[in-house]
Amino acid sequence: MSKKTLEAAWARLAAHHKSVAARPISTLFAHGDRPAEFSATACGFLFDYSKTNIDREGRELLLELAEAAQIGTARAAMFTGEKINRTEGRAVLHTALRALDAEVQVDGQDVMAAVRATHARMCTFAEAVRSGAFTVSGGAVRDVVNIGIGGSDLGPAMACLALAPQADGPRCHFVSNVDGAHVHDVLAGLDPARTLVIVASKTFTTIETMTNAGHVRDWLAAAGLDPAAHLVALSSATGKTAEWGIPPARVFGFEDWVGGRYSVWGPIGLSLMLAIGPARFNDFLAGAAAMDRHFREAPLQENLPVLLALVGIWHNQICGHATRAVLPYDQRLARLPAYLQQLEMESNGKRVAMDGQDLTRHSGPIVWGEPGTNGQHAFYQLLHQGTRIVPAEFLIAARGHEPDLDNQHRLLIANCLAQAQALLEGRSLETAREMMAARGFTGDDLEMQARHRVFPGNRPSTLLVYERLSPAALGGILALYEHRVFVEGVILGINSFDQWGVELGKELALALAPALEGEAVPAEPSTAALVAHLRALRGEA
Ligand SMILES: O=P(O)(O)OC[C@H]1O[C@](O)(CO)[C@@H](O)[C@@H]1O
C-alpha cells in the first residue's frame, strides 16, 4: 500500500468532515430515499447507518480509504492462511473452523483434515454426553462447568446465554475470575458426581484458569471421586493437558492460528455444543460462514463488515468520538458488549503499527454497553444530554422467542426505535419552552426548567436488524463484528491479532504474590504502601 495514497485519503476525509461537521444529520433526510440509500442487507441482516452524518461524498471517501488500505489484499491474505499476525509469526484462520468443506493450507500443509477430525470428535462427544451414553462417576452429566478466561470464557458464556431458548442439554456454568467468590458461587449447589468440568485454556498456563481448575479438581477429589473421570481439556498445549492427567480422548486441541478471542467456533465452543447440540452448533457455524462468504465476495459499498468498519472509522477517527455504545435490544445478548470489548479492544487497542512505528492516529474505540431497555434507565441520560457524543450501535430482532409475550417484544422495538429517533431529532429549546408554559411555568423559572429539558439531538446511531436470535443469526453477528474489527485494524495499520498489552500486568501480579505473603517488599513505593495496608487489614502485618 502506498502510504502517500492512504494519507491523502485520510486528509480528504478530514477536509470533508470539516465542511459538514456543523450540519444537522436530520437535514440529510430531505434528499432522496436516505433510509434505503444508507443501509445495506445481507445474510438476513439489515444494517442502517442513515442516522449518521455520512453523506454520499463522505461514503465515497471512506470507501476510497478502504481501497487505499488495500482491504481486498489483506482479506485474501487472512483467508488463505498467510502469517498476518507478524509479531507471533502466525496465520489467522478462525474462519477455517466454520468452513469445514474448505481447503486451507498453512506452510503448504493442509490444516482442514485436523479441523474436521476434531469437529467430528466434538460432535460425537457432545451427543454422548447429551444422550447420557457418556457418564461421569454419578451417572449422566447434569451440569457442565467451563473454567476459562478471556476468549476461553467470553464466547461460550455469551453464546450460551444468547441461545438459551435452544438449550436442551446439560446446564452450563462458567468460572473465569480468580476471585474465589466466582468458583465458590458456581459450585454451590452442584453435585460433583454429576458434573463435567471443562478446562478451557489455549496455553494451559493462564494463572486464573489453572488456579480455578486446581480448586475444582480438589472439589471432585474431596467428594471421593476420581477427577480424571470428570475432566475435559480444550487446549493447544496437549503436553500440559497430559501432565494434568486428562485422558487424550477428552482433549480437544486447536492450532496456534486460532486466537483466543476468535476461538468460540472450535473446541472452545464445546460447552455451547453441549448445551444446544451439534446440529444447532453447526447452524451457528453456518451463519458465520455465510457472513464470511459475504465479506469475501460483496463489493465494498455493499459489504456489511466493511460498512460497519467505515462507520466506526468515521466516528472514532474522523469525528473524534472516543467511545461507542453497543446497545442490544435483546436481553439474551447481555454479554455481547463484554464479548465485543475483548474482540475490539484486545484486537485494536494498540499504540504501534504493524511495522513497530508509533500510530499517527488513535487506536480503535472504547466499546461499552448494556442491553436496552435497562440502559435507558441508567446511562442514556448522558447519551442524550451529556457534553460528549457517543455513537450508539443498536441491535434488534423483529421477533422474540416467546410468542405469548409478543406485546412486550413490540414495546421493546418501539423503545429501540424511539431512542434512535430521540438521539437524532432531539428537542429544541422552543419546544421545551412551550411544554413548560403549558404546565404553568412562567418567567425565569420557565426558562430554567425549559433549558433542562432540551435535547441537542444530532447524535449518530446505527441499527442492525435481524429476524430472530437463532444460532445462525448469532453466528452471523459475531462474524460480522470479527471482520469489522479486522477491516478497522487494516485501515489503521494495526496487527489485530496479538495482545502484548496484557503481559505486563500478568508478570507483575506473579511478582507481587510473594509480597502478599510477607516474603518481599515491592520496590515501587506506592505498591509497597498498599501491600502493607492490605496486609495490616488482613491481620498479617
Ligand atoms: O486460553 P488461554 O491461553 O487461557 O488465554 C485466555 C485469554 O488470555 C489472553 O491471552 C489475554 O490475557 C486472551 O487473549 C485469551 O483469550
- Domains of the chain, residue spans: 3-21+37-68+298-425+460-495, 94-283, 426-458, 505-537
Q: What is the DSSP letter of 150?
A: G
Give the span between the Cα atoms of 392 and 458, in whole angstroms: 12
Do the beta carbons of residue 287 and residue 471 sit within 8 Å? yes
Instruction: Return the pLDDT at 244.
Output: 93
Residue 195's beta-bridge partner residues?
143
In Å, how far are 26, 28, 132, 535, 541 from 538, measured between CA atoms? Answer: 59, 62, 47, 5, 8
Residue 186: pLDDT above 80?
yes
- Ligand 1 atom 11 nearest Cα: 502
- Residues 541 and 537: their CA atoms lie apart, in Å, by 8
Residues 479 and 187: their CA atoms lie apart, in Å, by 33
SS (H, E, C) 107-146: CCEECHHHHHHHHHHHHHHHHHHHHCCCEECCEECCEEEE
Query: Comparing 3-21+37-68+298-425+460-495 with 94-283, is the CATH topology the same?
Result: yes
The amino acid occupying position 384 is H
Q: Which atom in ligand 1 lies closest to the alpha carbon of residue 149?
A: 6
The whole-number pLDDT of residue 1 equals 56
| Mean of pLDDT values over 414-442 | 98
Give the Å distance between the CA of 204 and the centre of ligand 1.
9
CA angle 324–326–327, rounded 5-degree value: 135
Could you report the per-residue pLDDT of 475-527, keeping only the tens digit for each? 999 999 999 999 999 999 999 999 999 999 999 999 999 999 999 999 999 99
Q: Which three cell numbers stand for residue 77?
A: 491474505
- Asked if residue 5 has pLDDT above 80, the reply is yes
Going by pLDDT thresholds of 50, 70 and 90, the confidence category of residue 371 is very high
CB atoms within 10 A of CB 363: 20
From residue 58, alpha-carbon distances to 30, 319, 420, 525 in Å are 17, 12, 21, 51
CA distance 173 to 23: 49
Sign of the C-alpha dihedral computed for residues 155, 157, 163 and 166 taken in this order:
positive
Q: Residue 234: its pLDDT value, please?
A: 98
Third-level CATH fold of 3-21+37-68+298-425+460-495: Rossmann fold (3.40.50)
Q: Is the CB of 236 under 6 A from ligand 1?
A: no
150 C-alpha to ligand 1 centroid (Å):
5
Task: Find the 356 Cα to ligand 1 centroid distance in Å.
Answer: 23
Q: Is the pLDDT of residue 168 over 60?
A: yes
Q: Is the pTM of this model over 0.95?
A: yes
DSSP 148: -
- Compute the average pLDDT of residues 266-274: 98
Which protein residue's CA is at the shortest distance from atom 8 of ligand 1? Answer: 150
- Is pLDDT above 90 for 302? yes
Nearest CA to ligand 1 atom 2: 201
Q: What percent of the chain has pLDDT over 70?
A: 100
Residue 264 Cβ < 6 Å to ligand 1: no
CA distance 251 to 175: 19
- Integer Cα distance of 152 and 267 in angstroms: 10
In percent, how much of the chain has pLDDT > 90?
99
pLDDT, position 541:
82
The mean of the pLDDT values for the chain is: 97
What CATH class is the domain 94-283? Answer: alpha beta
Is residue 2 predicted with pLDDT exceeding 90?
no
Residue 328: enclosing H or E segment and its boundaries? strand 323-329
43-96 tens-digit pLDDT = 999 999 999 999 999 999 999 999 999 999 999 999 999 999 999 999 999 999
